[in-house]
Structure 1
Amino acid sequence: MSGFIANGGTVEPFVLDNDGWFPDIDAEHLRAAVRMDGSITNARLEVAAVAAMLSVNRELAAYKAAELANGYAALADVPAVAIDGESERVHLYRRAVYCSAGAELAERYRSYDATAAGNQRADDLTPSIDEFRRDARWAIRDLLGVTHTTVELI
């Protein structure tokens, strides 16, 4: 009898350079923060993280322009409360990126294991996907200083 068990191997750490205003993303920290093991390759992690960075950067473009006009050379320079020695805005930005990347990777779970067990696992991840998206949205809204709720009259 033979079998193959994927345990998630070791992966090399890397940093994704951002645009110079928003902070760079440490892939090893991202992997740990959203509880990904080595079964997610660096290439897949990089694709998801870059897409998340592009999306979050795009959503925060007007905010960035306003803060640049106020004379702040980087997000970390914008006045904010510091938590663990780092600006709350940097923490919120990182959370938005991590959660966006986590949602994309969770959505792709079926491509790793198309067996019935894999499909069940992917179905089990659906609440996590929604929670990742919610947390990303809330982090962006917190960074912008707006409420989590949007109400419209119809």
Structure 2
Amino acid sequence: MSSFNAIAEPTITPEPTPPAAELIVTNAPWFPSVDLAHMRQAVRLDGTVTHARLRDAVIVAIDEVNRELSAWHLSHLAAGVATLAGLPADEIGGESVQLARYRRAVYYLARADVTEQYRDFDSTKSGAADAAELVTTIDADRRNARQAINDMRGVARTTIELI
């Protein structure tokens, strides 16, 4: 006697798109707000990252970048620069490079945070390889963010230490 069992593959129901107002994370007055839809496209985040998780990661990233740029920001504010967009800088593609650098720092710190949350333990050989690959991605994202912050401040990217 033979039997046949059909098992349906699980389907992932996509999260509904939040209202447009919820896609913008308002920032401190001197810094630009962050558009979550633009971030998803810029750093290739798919629908597996929920809106709530992405929003939380972006808020943490904004806070980290703003704190790291605090002294730099206050010196420009004291010099009469009202916003990051008003800071004298080259424009490429119709936008200040400082705005692009700020966005890059926030996007990549947030993506590193989200990627860390999605690392999973898998005892198989392929699972260990996947986790190692994610560590490389996380490190690259953090490096990209640090470079963007250093570029904003005019600090060299290379750190040399004598042993």
Scaled by the length of structure 1, the TM-score of the pair is 0.89
Q: Residue 110 of structure 1 corresponds to which residue in structure 2?
A: 119
**What is the one-letter code of the residue matched to 2:17?**
V
Equivalenced residue count is: 153
Structure 1 segments (4+ residues) deviating >4 Å: 7-10, 113-120
Among the aligned pairs, what percent are the same residue? 43
Deviation at 1:109, TM superposition (A): 1.0
Match 1:11 to one of 5, 9, 17: 17
Of structures 1 and 2, the larger Rg is shown by 2
**What is the one-letter code of the residue matched to 1:122?**
A
Residues 105-144 of structure 1: CA distance to partner in whole angstroms, max 9, x if unpaired?
Answer: 1111136x86856665333221111100000000000000
Structure 1, gaps ≥5 residues long: none
Q: Residue 23 of structure 1 corresponds to which residue in structure 2?
A: 32
**What is the one-letter code of the residue matched to 1:137?**
R
Deviation at 1:86, TM superposition (A): 1.0
Q: Residue 54 of structure 2 corresponds to which residue in structure 1?
A: 45
Q: Residue 69 of structure 2 corresponds to which residue in structure 1?
A: 60
CA RMSD of aligned residues (A): 2.1
**What is the one-letter code of the residue matched to 1:110?**
R
Residues 104-143 of structure 1: pairs in structure 2 closer than 5 A: 104-110=113-119, 120-143=129-152
1:72 aligned onto 2:78: no
SS at match of 2:11: coil
